[in-house]
């Protein structure tokens, strides 16, 4: 077996072990804290619904930035997707909403591509402009098409909302697990250690799942396959690493960048469509910054689909837990303390197992300061869990956003963005 294959197997096994350890910790925290919502099927069903739009926005950012185009306009593209999905959905049903949202998001991506790729506009400025343009355009269209006296207004529309969708996307349950007798629900209600937690997680992720959720989950491995196992993906990633080298090999870098950014916008628009499916209509402001959180999840995932999925799941779970139970949010303190203890133990074990005194000394004060800070943090989190009975609603509401900042702070130590990400490209003018 080759070294590359061995590394892949090792990462796969480490991922499985990490997931098993997380579930075990969640079960322990549930038993100690008495908060059953930590692993309930309702929490994980809500987390799945909240993670999907974040993950789709993150996929949009991944496609664009792997081609060397920074796309912070994901929020505006999601807004366009929500409005056009609501407008088409109330007239022709969920399939038309899906198509309209995709096209609207792709149109937003096309505008970003024209500005950045063709005219060389700074990527951040163009993205900010799209984030301003999206809400402005959708408000204008609402005032024109949903004004009082029109058929849409009579169907319940206003300048901040569309009529309800005329049909809903189908929902499916995974065979054997969540179809037929609800044996997972019965096992969850026993509240047994680990078994009921596994049942709650599986039921939440497989029972009456929206078809668009399944599509979004399948897009993650599909993206990995296209970008890392096809010639097109290799060309796209080369445009984000060194476009002039790609150009010398005959790659049409302009075309690659255009395709990547348009696909990026389409993914963001699809995230907007999903929000409309959840609420059954367009509502102004329903994206609520998910485009930015999706971008953060993509960065947390180190510009890779697997890491992006983990980041989106983390943010979706935090949001779902605070919606289900404000009291259960305090369990994050205990959960965080357990993770810090595991981290300290693993680092100390690695240092002691090295048997290389010179190597231990070479780690320097930074390593020991980091371990001491993690230990103090664990003690502080346990103290907070024991003393804080219930968090204020304001703190509970911002928990996902605080978590976003903390995760990015930790993840920033190991990130490697594409080398030409955000670099202005002109054919034949290598920097």
Predicted confidence (pLDDT) per residue in 189-207, tens digit: 888 888 999 989 988 888 8
We report the CATH number of the domain holding residue 283 as 1.10.3470
**Does residue 10 carry a pLDDT above 90?**
no
Q: Which domain does 355 fall in, by range?
A: 327-390
Nearest to 23 by CA among 180, 177, 205, 174: 205
Q: How far apart are CA 294 and CA 315, in angstroms?
A: 9
How far is the C-alpha of 30 from the C-alpha of 85, rounded, in Å?
A: 39
Q: Are residues 217 and 334 in the same domain?
A: no
pLDDT, tens digit (0-9, with 9 covering 90-100), for 229-258: 999 999 999 999 999 999 999 999 999 999
Pair (344, 310) in one structural domain: no
My answer on whether 322 and 333 are in the same domain is no
Residues 105 and 58 in one domain: yes
Residue 381 near residue 336, CB atoms below 8 Å: yes
Place of tokens 């992720």: 205
pTM comes to 0.87
Residue 359 and residue 219 share a domain: no
Q: Which residues contact 162 (CB under 8 A, 6 or more apart)?
A: 83, 86, 87, 89, 90, 142, 146, 152, 281, 282
Helices 211-229/305-324 angle, 10° precision: 160
Residue 184 lies in a domain: no
Phi, psi of 140 (to 5 degrees): -60, -45
Domain membership of residue 424 (yes or no) is: no
User: What does the mean pLDDT of the chain come to?
Assistant: 85
Q: How confident is the model at residue 154 (pLDDT cuts 50, 70, 90)?
A: low
pLDDT of residue 399: 64
* Residue pLDDT, tens place only, 284-337: 999 989 999 999 889 888 899 988 998 899 888 888 887 777 667 777 778 778
Q: Do residues 215 and 274 make contact, with C-beta atoms less than 8 angstroms apart?
A: no
Same domain, 256 and 362: no
Q: What is the number of domains present in the chain? A: 2
Please tell me the chain's helix, strand, coil percentages from 3-state DSSP, rounded to the nearest 5.
75, 0, 25
Q: Per the domain annotation, does 322 fall within a domain?
A: yes
> Does 186 fall in a domain?
no
Q: What are phi and psi of 171, to 5 degrees?
A: -120, 140
Pick the residue with more confidence: 76 or 3? Answer: 76
Question: Per the domain annotation, does 335 fall within a domain?
Answer: yes
Beta strands, E only, 133-214: 171-172, 209-210
Is residue 236 domain-shared with residue 285, that is, in the same domain? Answer: yes
Q: Are residues 277 and 338 in the same domain?
A: no
In a domain, 428, yes or no: no
**In this predicted model, which residue has the larger pLDDT, 301 or 271?**
271
pLDDT band at 149 (very low <50, low <70, confident <90, very high): low
Q: Same structural domain for residues 251 and 381? A: no
Tokens of 388: 């804080």
Q: What angle do CA 405, 408, 410 make, to 5 degrees?
A: 110
Q: How many CB atoms lie within 10 A of CB 5?
A: 9
Q: Is residue 255 part of a domain?
A: yes
The answer to whether residues 165 and 236 belong to one domain is: yes
Contact between 251 and 259 under an 8 Å Cβ cutoff? The reply is no
Based on the domain organization, do 368 and 290 belong to the same domain?
Answer: no
Indicate whether 277 and 361 sit together in one domain.
no
On whether residue 59 sits in a domain, the answer given is yes
């Amino acid at each position: 077996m080759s070294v590359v294959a061995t590394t892949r197997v090792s990462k796969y096994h480490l991922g499985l072990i990490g997931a098993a350890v997380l579930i075990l910790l969640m079960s322990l925290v549930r038993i100690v804290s008495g908060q059953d919502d930590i692993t309930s099927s309702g929490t994980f069903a809500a987390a799945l619904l909240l993670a999907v739009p974040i993950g789709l926005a993150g996929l949009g950012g991944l496609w664009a930035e792997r081609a060397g185009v920074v796309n912070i306009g994901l929020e505006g593209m999601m807004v366009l997707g929500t409005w056009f999905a609501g407008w088409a959905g109330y007239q022709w049903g969920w399939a038309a909403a899906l198509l309209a949202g995709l096209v609207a998001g792709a149109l937003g991506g096309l505008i970003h591509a024209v500005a950045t790729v063709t005219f060389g506009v700074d990527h951040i400025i163009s993205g900010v402009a799209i984030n301003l343009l999206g809400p402005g355009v959708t408000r204008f269209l609402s005032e024109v098409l949903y004004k009082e006296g029109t058929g849409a207004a009579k169907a319940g529309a206003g300048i901040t909302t569309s009529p309800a969708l005329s049909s809903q996307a189908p929902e499916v349950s995974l065979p054997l697990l969540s179809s037929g007798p609800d044996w997972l629900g019965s096992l969850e209600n026993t509240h047994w250690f680990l078994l009921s937690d596994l049942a709650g997680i599986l039921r939440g992720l497989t029972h009456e799942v929206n078809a668009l959720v399944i599509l979004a989950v399948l897009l993650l491995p599909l993206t990995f396959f296209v970008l890392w196992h096809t010639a097109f993906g290799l060309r796209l990633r080369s445009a984000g690493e060194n476009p002039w080298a790609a150009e010398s090999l005959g790659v049409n870098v302009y075309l690659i960048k255009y395709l990547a950014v348009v696909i990026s916008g389409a993914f963001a628009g699809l995230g907007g469509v999903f929000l409309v499916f959840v609420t059954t209509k367009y509502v102004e402001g329903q994206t609520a910054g998910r485009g930015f959180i999706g971008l953060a999840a993509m960065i947390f995932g180190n510009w890779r689909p697997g890491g992006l999925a983990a980041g989106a799941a983390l943010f979706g779970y935090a949001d779902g837990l605070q919606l289900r139970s404000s009291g259960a949010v305090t369990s994050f303190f205990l959960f965080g303390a357990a993770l810090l203890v595991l981290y300290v133990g693993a680092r100390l074990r690695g240092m002691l197992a090295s048997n290389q005194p010179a190597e231990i000394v070479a780690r320097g004060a930074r390593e020991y300061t980091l371990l001491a800070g993690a230990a103090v943090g664990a003690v502080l989190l346990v103290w907070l869990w024991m003393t804080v009975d219930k968090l204020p609603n304001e703190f509970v509401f911002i928990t996902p956003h605080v978590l976003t900042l903390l995760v990015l702070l930790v993840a920033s130590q190991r990130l490697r963005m594409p080398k030409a990400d955000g670099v202005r490209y002109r054919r034949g003018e290598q920097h």
